[in-house]
Structure formats: C-alpha cells, structure tokens
Structure 1
Amino acid sequence: MPRLTSRHGTSPFIWCAAIICAIISIVVIFGGIVVFVGYMVIHPRVPIISVDGAHLDLLKYDIVGVMQTQLTIVIRAENDNAKAHALFDKTEFKLIYEGKTIAYLRQDEFEVDKERSVLSNYLVQSYPIPLNPTMMEAIDFAVKQDVITFQLKGGSKARWRVGPLGSVRFECNLSCELRFRPSDHSYISSPCTSAHKN
C-alpha cells in the first residue's frame, strides 16, 4: 500500500519574522557593546547631592501648641565626571519634625556641567503646625538644650549622557538630620551626602 507523505515549505511570513528578530537581536547586542565600551572609556563617577549649608530663619511656638518655622537649606549637586554632563530631575525632599512632615522641597530638572557643581537654595516656610503634647515636650527640651533637630529625606534622579552612547540613571538619596541652635539660629554642620561611604 503506497505511503502518503506531505511536504510543506516554510511560510515566507515565518522567514521574514525570523530575519527581523535576528536583526533586532544583533542591533541590541551591538548597542550593548557600544554602551559598555563607552562606559569603560568614560568611566563616569556617580553624581552626588549633599547639604552644603542651612540656617534657621524663624522658629516660633506658643503655649497653645502651634509652631511656625522657616529654614534656608542649600543643596549642592556635584558632577565629578570629566567627560559628560549630568542631568538631575525629580528632585524632592521632605522636611520632618518629630515624625511629622512639615514641608516639601521640590526643584525642576537642571543640568550640571562636567566637573562642576550647582548650589540650590531652598527657602522652606511651613504653615502653622499644631503640636501634640509629645511634640510640645520635644520643642521645650530642644530650646532648653539649645539644639533643635529636623529630618531631611528625599533625593534626585541623576543621569549622564554622552552623544549616541545613551544614558545611565543613578539614584541620589539623602536621609539625614539637620541640627540648629535656637538661640542664634545657626546651623550645626554635619555630613549629609548621597555619596557611598566606604
């Protein structure tokens, strides 16, 4: 009894799809190699943000339990890379007192040139803040000790870009304490940076 066989050629559509996938794979691999080589040649340093200075402009509170404060905070954005500009965007910080967020600091996208730094001055003015008994005790103690502490948390998304090589993103985050002397409103300087510590 004769055996029936069936022969079907590969569809042109499948060939086209396979060729397109192969081309895309080659482009992706080539692009990855280019970016890697560019990274090794440029070897960019991670951008850094840090607190450069601050001042307690105003601190008022009354027996009713309402506090008002105004601070000037100076943030430094550094780009130590000698071969690429750095862009900082989505820059946002929270100013916190005794666990309560009392103000937000925000800034639009900005650029820092090669081996340069940019200082940003934030004038932080809070609305009248109702204080609970714990916060009242804390501020009374702070005034007696002549040291009041705020927390600063947040950061910026930084990226460097060089021509057609693409870009690489970095997270620059801060989480630190800002301490002031209520007697003369001065800032008690202490390290606050997004740089990795060894």
Structure 2
Amino acid sequence: MPPKLISDAKRRTHPLVWLAAVLCTVVSIAVIIGGIVIFIGYLVIHPRIPTVSVLDAHLNKFQNDLAGRLEVQLTIIIEAENDNAKAHASFSDSSFFLYFIGMKIAQLKADPFEVRKNSSLKFHYAVVSDSIPLNPEQMEKVDNDLKADLSGFVLTGNTRVQWRVGLLGSVKYECHLHCELKFHPSNGTYMSSPCSSRAK
C-alpha cells in the first residue's frame, strides 16, 4: 500500500479574494438598507397617492338623424389631484378614450404636467365627435336611450405618475381610469357617481 503524502502547509486565501468578499458584503448591506428606507418612505406617503378622476361632465348634444347618423357633444372635466403635503407629482402619457355602445368616438390627451403638493389641476375637455354612422341595432339603442332619457358612455385610459420623495428618489406607477358616464339626454345632466383612478 503506497504511503500517504501529508502536507503541513496551510492554504492561504489571496488578499484580493478577501477584498472582493468585503466589498460584496458592504454593497449588499447598503442595498438592503437603501431598500428599507425607500420602502418605509413609500409606506409613509402611500395612503395619499395622486389620483385622476372625472369631476363633472355635461352632455351638450345627443341626437341622430333620419339617415342614422349620430351627433354627440360633451364637456368632461378631469381632475388630477395630489393631496400629499410633502411631494410634487409629475403626470405624463395621459390618454383617455371615450366609447359609446362599443364605438370609440374620441380621445382625450394631455401634455406632461406637474401638480404641486397639496394641490390639484383641472382639465376641461370639449368633445365634438364626427357624425357617427349607426347600424339598425345601434339606431334602436339610441332611440331607446332618448325615450328613456338615459344614455351612457365609457371613459377609460391611463396616465403615468412620478412621485418625488426627496433624497429617497422617486416612485413611479400608472393610474388607470375606467368610468361610466351617465346622462339625461333631455337636459344633458350628468348623473354618475364619483369615479377615480386606481394605481397599478
């Protein structure tokens, strides 16, 4: 049986390996602490996240002619609200679509804007649709709406929000708006309950 070779020499870890291990540990701790601080800051402010909502609306015109073409005019007031007392909010890519019985009849857009802390900003949209051709089923729906003095639209879309949190950086998310707008066509009265965005 061949003899076993036993060495008393101890393996030493290269100093660069120790340095790399120390640096990785420091970076990991910094990332964890930074994440905890940002998370706590987000939790502190999160209950008062900025929102967009339909504040009011009015149906100015809703009629169809004998040829089966619908004319619609509406005024829609959308409010961007930031009731946080500690941070401004930046809104961008704001785009909303207005539908009637499944037909997209208008797009409402806004350039990037900022809402200061504890403040709000209102946008008045005057929607004047092109003459909309209706099929027999859609014509019947419009006639029924006029007889019942009740007509409904759907407004849906998104806006991106960036929320500045001082030295902690910023929080980014998307607000989604989906509202049913109901009116009395006889006088244009808006009769829907309040509708605000949900954050994604």
Normalised TM-score (structure 1): 0.82
Q: Quick one: structure 1 residues 114 and 170, their matched pair in 2 at CA, closer, same or farther if it must change by over 3 Å?
A: same
SS in 1 for 2:187: coil
What's the counterpart of residue 115 of structure 1? Answer: 118
Q: Does 1:193 align with 2:196?
A: yes
* Aligned mates of 2:185, 2:44 — CA distance in 1: 50
The Cα shift of 1:12 comes to 6.6
Q: Does 1:162 align with 2:165?
A: yes
Task: Give the one of 156, 177, 189 matched to 1:174.
Answer: 177
Q: Does 1:3 align with 2:5?
A: yes
User: Given residue 106 of structure 1, which amino acid in structure 2 is its aligned partner?
Assistant: K
Cα RMSD (Å): 2.8
* Aligned mates of 1:175, 1:148 — CA distance in 2: 17
Normalised TM-score (structure 2): 0.81
| Matches for 1:12-161 after TM superposition, within 5 Å | 17-39=20-42, 42=45, 45-161=48-164
Q: Quick one: structure 1 residues 12 and 64, their matched pair in 2 at CA, closer, same or farther if it must change by over 3 Å?
A: farther
* Aligned mates of 1:66, 1:10 — CA distance in 2: 84
User: Given residue 134 of structure 1, which amino acid in structure 2 is its aligned partner?
Assistant: E
The Cα shift of 1:34 comes to 2.4
Q: Quick one: structure 1 residues 11 and 132, their matched pair in 2 at CA, closer, same or farther if it must change by over 3 Å?
A: farther
Q: Quick one: structure 1 residues 94 and 2, their matched pair in 2 at CA, closer, same or farther if it must change by over 3 Å?
A: same
Contact 1:47-1:170 at 8 Å conserved across structures: no
Aligned residue pairs: how many? Answer: 196
Q: Quick one: structure 1 residues 8 and 137, their matched pair in 2 at CA, closer, same or farther if it must change by over 3 Å?
A: farther
Contact 1:44-1:83 at 8 Å conserved across structures: no
Structure 2 unaligned segments of length 5 or more: list them.
Answer: none
What do residues 72-110 of structure 1 show as CA deviations (whole Å, max 9, x unaligned)? 110111111111112222222111111122211121221
Structure 1 unaligned segments of length 5 or more: list them.
Answer: none
The percent of aligned pairs where both chains have the same amino acid is 49
* Aligned mates of 2:48, 2:27 — CA distance in 1: 31
Contact 2:177-2:198 at 8 Å conserved across structures: no
Greater gyration radius: 2
